[in-house]
């Protein structure tokens, strides 16, 4: 059976077919700030209707944007399944008292991390927000953090003070001009959050977890996190795990 996975974030949709080994194949990214998401999907994914195929969807976008994507999917696939955060699945147990309040993207990233190996992971997503989640080797989630991403910080500063540019500049430890100072401060804030989380996770677990970095904004931070494992499509990997778990059940 042909199967695709779709991850709808706040600014982009990512999609991939599943390979024979159950892992995502080549990923297609679609910006979805346009009014007509269906037209954007048609242009990026000219898929003919496949009534015997199925699609799995995870979305943190608005209800209206999610519904538009679901409508498009139902014209292409015979079955459309929507992932939700669950208290426990595929060896992962969520720390939240109300697991439904944990974003499905974070949940799926945890599934993908655990599937990569039964070891401790600090899973960091860099998108509109920076999300940090700690997972131990037993698959127990210890909770996490959420903060604005460097991009969002720059946008907020520019909105509050129009003379501050929302883009530009480069990271340096002590900047000598404003664009560099903004880039260094906002990226440095994210790096400081990650580094403190790593330090505290090491104290909690007694050994350092492996840093697993994903998300559209991860590339800007990677040069200063040389020990990180980078996974460009971690949520899609987790969605594939979720789909497999449903089939196994």
- How far is residue 119's CA from residue 41's CA, in Å, rounded to a whole number? 37
Q: Which of 105, 180, 219, 227 is catalytic?
A: 105
Classified as helix, coil or strand, 68 is helix
What letter does residue 208 receive in the DSSP assignment?
A: P
- How far is residue 101's CA from residue 96's CA, in Å, rounded to a whole number? 7
CA separation, residue 79 to residues 57, 59, 72, 136 (Å):
11, 17, 12, 34
Cβ contacts of residue 174 below 8 Å, gap of 6+? 184
- How far is residue 148's CA from residue 156's CA, in Å, rounded to a whole number? 9
Burial of 164 from C-beta contacts in 10 A (0-12 / 13-18 / 19+): middle
Residue 36 a catalytic site member: no
Residues designated catalytic? 105
């Amino acid at each position: 059976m042909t199967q695709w996975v779709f991850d709808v974030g706040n600014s982009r949709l990512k999609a991939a077919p599943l390979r024979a080994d159950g892992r995502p194949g080549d990923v297609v990214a679609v910006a979805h700030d346009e009014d007509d998401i269906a037209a954007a999907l048609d242009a990026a994914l000219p898929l003919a209707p496949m009534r015997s195929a199925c699609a799995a969807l995870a979305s943190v976008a608005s209800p209206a944007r999610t519904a538009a994507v679901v409508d498009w999917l139902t014209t292409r696939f015979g079955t459309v399944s929507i992932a939700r955060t669950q208290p426990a699945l595929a060896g992962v147990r969520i720390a939240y008292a109300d697991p439904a309040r944990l974003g499905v993207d974070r949940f799926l990233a945890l599934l993908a991390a655990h599937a990569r190996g039964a070891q401790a992971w600090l899973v960091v997503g860099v998108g509109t927000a920076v999300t940090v989640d700690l997972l131990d080797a037993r698959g127990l989630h210890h909770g996490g953090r959420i903060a604005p991403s460097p991009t969002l910080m720059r946008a907020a500063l520019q909105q509050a003070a129009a003379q501050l540019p929302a883009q530009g500049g480069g990271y340096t430890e002590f900047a000598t001009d404003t664009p560099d100072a903004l880039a260094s401060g906002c990226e440095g804030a994210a790096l400081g959050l990650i580094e403190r989380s790593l330090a505290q996770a090491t104290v909690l677990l007694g050994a350092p977890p492996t840093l697993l970095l994903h998300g559209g904004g991860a590339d800007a931070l990677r040069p200063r996190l040389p020990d990180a494992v980078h996974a460009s499509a971690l949520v899609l990997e987790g969605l594939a795990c979720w789909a497999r778990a449903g089939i196994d059940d």
